[in-house]
Amino acid sequence: MSTKIFAHRGASKYAPENTMAAFRLAELMQADGIETDVQLTKDQVPVIIHDETINRTTNKRGLVRNLTYEELRQTDAGAWFSRDYAGEKIISLDVFLQWIKKTPMLLNLELKTNKFPYPGIEKIVLQCLTYHGMKDRTTISSFNTDTILRFSALDNEIDTGFLTSRRPRQLFSLMEEIGAKALHPKYRLLNKKLIQDCLQHQVPIRVYTVNQPVYILRALEANCDVIISDVPDRALELQKGYITS
Ligand code: G3P
Ligand code: MG
């Protein structure tokens, strides 16, 4: 099976991350899928934003969990990136799913529970995916092993990935314990040993965030299941050359 290219937070090198502008661009570039991040508002609405605060990617300040969805909607999530994107909004998971389900793309939802556990987020996200009929096209990933465990307990059919920036001891027994079906390692972790071990355990590798050509080629060579990249256009271009060479 050939490696799929996912747009990290949308095509986030070219448009403000995790906005509709970045997602539409990813579709235009013909990415195979989108990786995006979910946090929970004060009124329990799952929203698409990477950080726990809105400080970096909007014109206001505060913690997502202390603000309502309505309050988040009042912010500008595009102007920080470039004036051309002023007026972009933080969107809810519901709005995002309503859009992506009409495209052919796959989805990797990262539950951002590594700083705040957002009690109940797993159930809320699962209900949303079920409502939109997106369960079969979605992978749930998290750095938080409890989140993966809770998600696989709620639904053991949905695809899950364990995100990690270092190789823990007993990686494969840990993954089995929490019900993670794939490994989502940081690109620097990808080496011969890890590739071999994953092959042996029949664990797909979905590597992040791979932007430099040398690492993209390495991931293609390793036959990774997915490459998650801020520059999906570059990864797709390299892949074309790689297949024909
Ligand atoms: O899911 C891959 C990647 O997004 C994980 O790290 O911090 O970019 O969300 P981060
Ligand atoms: Mg992410």
232 lies in which domain range? 4-244
Tokens of 49: 């934003």
Closest residue by Cα to atom 7, ligand 1, is 50
Closest residue by Cα to atom 10, ligand 1, is 50
Residue pair 43/10 in contact (Cβ under 8 Å)? The answer is no
Q: Compute the distance from residue 208 Cα to the ligand 1 centre, in Å.
A: 7
Q: How many residues does the chain have?
A: 245
Counting from 1 in the atom list of ligand 1, the atom nearest the Cα of 112 is 9
Closest residue by Cα to atom 3, ligand 1, is 208
| Residue 244 reports pLDDT greater than 90 | no
* pLDDT tens-place string over residues 142-199: 999 999 999 999 999 999 999 999 999 999 999 999 999 999 999 999 999 999 999 9
Q: What is the structure's pLDDT at 52?
A: 98
**Confidence bin at 245 (pLDDT 50/70/90):** low
Residue pair 78/19 in contact (Cβ under 8 Å)? The answer is yes
CATH number, domain containing residue 236:
3.20.20.190
Mean per-residue pLDDT, 210-214: 98
Phi-psi region of 133 (alpha: psi -120 to 50; beta: other; left: phi over 0): left
* pLDDT tens-place string over residues 99-134: 999 999 999 999 999 999 999 999 999 999 999 999
The response to whether residue 230 sits with its C-beta less than 6 Å from ligand 1 reads no
Residue pair 167/194 in contact (Cβ under 8 Å)? The answer is yes
Angstrom distance (rounded) from CA 98 to CA 124: 16
Q: What is the structure's pLDDT at 243?
A: 73
The response to whether residue 17 sits with its C-beta less than 6 Å from ligand 1 reads no
Q: What is the structure's pLDDT at 242?
A: 84
pTM as predicted: 0.98
Residue pair 97/125 in contact (Cβ under 8 Å)? The answer is no
Q: What is the structure's pLDDT at 124?
A: 98
| Residue 1 reports pLDDT greater than 90 | no
* pLDDT tens-place string over residues 14-62: 999 999 999 999 999 999 999 999 999 999 999 999 999 999 999 999 9
Number of domains in the chain: 1
**C-alpha atoms less than 13 angstroms from C-alpha of 193 in its C-beta half-sphere:** 4
Q: What is the structure's pLDDT at 118?
A: 98
- Residues with C-beta atoms within 5 A of ion ligand 2: 37, 110
Q: What is the CA radius of gyration of the chain?
A: 17
Amino acid present at 175: M
Q: Are strands 33-40 and 46-48 parallel, antiparallel or unpaired?
A: antiparallel
Q: What is the structure's pLDDT at 178?
A: 98
Q: Compute the distance from residue 222 Cα to the ligand 1 centre, in Å.
A: 20
